[in-house]
Each structure stands twice: as structure tokens, then as C-alpha cells.
A = this chain, B = another copy of it.
Amino acid sequence: MKLVQIYQCLCDETRLRLLNLLLEGPLCVCHLQAALVEPQVKISKHLGYLKTRGLVRSRRQGNWIIYALPPERERSAELKANLACLQDCAAEQTGFKRDLARLRKLDLACAPVAAAGGKGKACCD
């Protein structure tokens, strides 16, 4: 992946907010949507954009789709550097912090379930 393609993924506010949340770990679309307080189609399209370009992965978990950044060992040096940079910068800006705060208030069942490869009713019940 070329450097400029990374920046193209980062040059939209919604995508920045999504990636900032995904830096915390895998998340299903409904949580991303709830944390960002944006319409479903908007979230879905930007996730699609990121996915085509390889910045995120997704897998189905029952009714839910879990999105995640690629595993660390598969991240190029440039990607690692830029994700770290983004995380640092976002950590100091209110908008991004608010997203994280909202995320933490949600019932985060889906993330642990996803991590455990689990069963359960999962996610948003």
C-alpha cells in the first residue's frame, strides 16, 4: 500500500473518527454507528471505502459484522507510523475524545464476544 493511499483514507473526518475507535479494538457496525451518532449508510460506506483499500477487515458474527484494523504484524511501517500519529493527535481533540467516551458507555458485549470467537447472543442485546 502506497503512502498516499493511506492519506487518502485519512482525509475524511468520518473515516478518521472510525479509525480512532477501531484503534481501541474490533467493533461491530452498530457500535461504531452509535458512538459516532451518524446515519447507518454513512458509516457503512466509509467502512467499505476503508475495506477496499485494506485498512480494515471485517467478518460476520451472526447478525453482526465486526470490523477491525489488520493485525499488527500485517501493518506496513508507514501504516503503523500513521496510525500511531493519528491516535496521538486524536487523543488531544475533543471531538475524538467524545466519540471514545460514547463508545465506552455502550454495552460492549460484541467486542469481547468477537475476541472470544464466541457464541452468546452477542453485541447489542
Contacts and interface: CB of A to CB of B under 8 A. Distances in A.
Q: Report the interface size class on chain A.
A: 20 to 34
A37 interface: no
Given A4-B11, A10-B10, 10 more contacts: A3-B16, A3-B93, A4-B13, A7-B7, A7-B10, A77-B89, A81-B85, A81-B88, A81-B89, A82-B85
Identical copies of this chain, number: 2
A78 B89 contact: yes
Interface of A: 3-4, 7-8, 10-13, 16, 77-78, 81-82, 85-86, 88-90, 92-93
18 contacts: A3-B16, A3-B86, A3-B89, A3-B90, A3-B93, A4-B10, A7-B10, A7-B11, A7-B16, A10-B10, A11-B11, A77-B89, A78-B89, A81-B85, A81-B88, A82-B85, A82-B89, A85-B85
Contacts of A85: 81-82, 85
Q: Is the interface of A mostly helix, strand, loop or mixed?
A: helix
A7 B6 CA distance: 9
Contacts of A4: 10-13, 16
